[in-house]
Amino acid sequence: MNAIEKKLIQLKKENRLGLIAHAVLGYPNMEKSLEIINSLISNGSDFLELQIPFSDPVADGETIMKACEVALKSGMNTDEAFELVGNLRRAVNVPILLMAYYNTIFRYGIKRFCKKAKDLRVSGIIVPDIPPEEEIAEKFITTSLEYDIYPIRVVSPSSSINRLEINARFARGFVYCISHFGVTGTKTVVDDRLTRYLQRVKQIMKLPVAVGFGLSKAEQIEALKGVADIVIVGSAIIKNYNEGGIKQVSSFIKSLKESTMGKGYI
């Protein structure tokens, strides 16, 4: 059984929201990146979303874009990213999700990328810029599944019923639901519109939903209980690190973890 499935079963038994913490590999450098990621784990993250930095991260806001730029300038590339994941794997036992833009995977080689990820016990890959229609030519989803790596599908409030149905054919594990129009880091309002959207996704795709983009406060997570299954926090982690270093990141993640407790399933 894929580690994502195992974690989802655990979360359901514990009746709480899952927490995915996002980090840009190599930001601000290799050593500090490891420190940040270890802090995310030690303070309660249920999953790790580790982003391989890219020069033009179109789905990301200013904070993550700048982090990618710094990481690339410090020498981070795909091989270095895999090396960092390998260093983590000796001490980390939570599911690891790699996040990358498709050009990175394409240039590295799809089979080569998936095999390397499998060797490092990566459980899922999030690729926000490859639509299902490309599968006929690219075989990215097919290849990732051959290596027991779940291709996490990304949907947004603009996704029509038809688009959700198409994505449902390929989705595994959970669905990554962008909370609002725009890029990462902009504030999310948990209102009836967001609730209806998440309920629609669940009904059509028949999988747990993870909500990301713009989550940074415990009250937002509290409001998502009974609506979402997993919350994803990214830009806010970088902002906390930039403001107060590892100590502030640790306190921030700890507070978010506390807010996930309680009823998390509908």
Rounded-to-integer distance, Cα 250 and Cα 123, Å: 24
Give the confidence band of 188 by pLDDT, cuts at 50, 70, 90. Answer: low
Please state the rounded mean pLDDT for residues 171-194: 73
The more confidently predicted of residues 92 and 210 is: 210
- Residue 63 and residue 185 in contact, taking contact as beta carbons nearer than 8 Å: yes
Reported as a single tens digit per residue, the pLDDT across 69-82 is 999 999 999 999 99
- Residue 53 and residue 78 in contact, taking contact as beta carbons nearer than 8 Å: no
* Domain boundaries, given as residue ranges, for the chain: 11-256
Give the confidence band of 266 by pLDDT, cuts at 50, 70, 90. Answer: very low
Rounded-to-integer distance, Cα 122 and Cα 209, Å: 20
Give the confidence band of 55 by pLDDT, cuts at 50, 70, 90. Answer: confident
The more confidently predicted of residues 21 and 212 is: 21
Reported as a single tens digit per residue, the pLDDT across 241-253 is 999 999 999 999 9
What is the average pLDDT value for the chain, to the nearest integer? 91
**Active-site residue, 56 included:** no
Rounded-to-integer distance, Cα 22 and Cα 96, Å: 10
Question: What percent of the chain has pLDDT above 90?
Answer: 77
Exactly one of 5, 35, 46, 49 is catalytic; which is it? 49
First and final C-alpha spacing in the chain = 24
- Residue 78 and residue 52 in contact, taking contact as beta carbons nearer than 8 Å: yes
Please state the rounded mean pLDDT for residues 175-185: 67
List the single range of 34-38, 242-246, 258-262 with lowest mean pLDDT.
258-262
3.30.420.40, 3.40.50.300, 3.40.50.970, 3.20.20.70: CATH of 11-256: 3.20.20.70
The pLDDT of residue 166 is above 90: yes
Give Cβ neighbours of residue 211 (< 8 Å, ≥ 6 apart): 177, 179, 188, 194, 198, 224, 228, 230, 231, 232
The more confidently predicted of residues 237 and 219 is: 237
The pLDDT of residue 263 is above 50: no
Strands annotated E in 160-233: 175-178, 209-212, 230-233
**Residue among 18, 53, 61, 45 at smallest CA distance from 214:** 61
User: What was the pLDDT predicted at 185?
Assistant: 40
Reported as a single tens digit per residue, the pLDDT across 6-32 is 999 999 999 999 999 999 999 999 999
User: What was the pLDDT predicted at 186?
Assistant: 45
DSSP 133-164: GGHHHH-HHHHHHHTT-EEEEEE-TT--HHHH
Rounded-to-integer distance, Cα 31 and Cα 28, Å: 8
Please state the rounded mean pLDDT for residues 189-195: 80
Give the confidence band of 119 by pLDDT, cuts at 50, 70, 90. Answer: very high
Query: Can you read off the two tokens belonging to residue 47?
Result: 């999953």
Exactly one of 35, 60, 192, 229 is catalytic; which is it? 60
Rounded-to-integer distance, Cα 235 and Cα 248, Å: 14
User: What was the pLDDT predicted at 180?
Assistant: 62
**Active-site residue, 62 included:** no
The more confidently predicted of residues 49 and 265 is: 49
- Residue 47 and residue 19 in contact, taking contact as beta carbons nearer than 8 Å: yes
Give Cβ neighbours of residue 256 (< 8 Å, ≥ 6 apart): 19, 44, 218, 221, 231, 233
The pLDDT of residue 187 is above 70: no
Element (DSSP H or E) covering residue 237: helix 235-259
State how beta strands 209-212 and 150-155 pair: unpaired
User: What was the pLDDT predicted at 91?
Assistant: 74
Per-residue CA distances from 262 to 17, 74, 237, 265, 266 (Å): 8, 41, 23, 9, 12
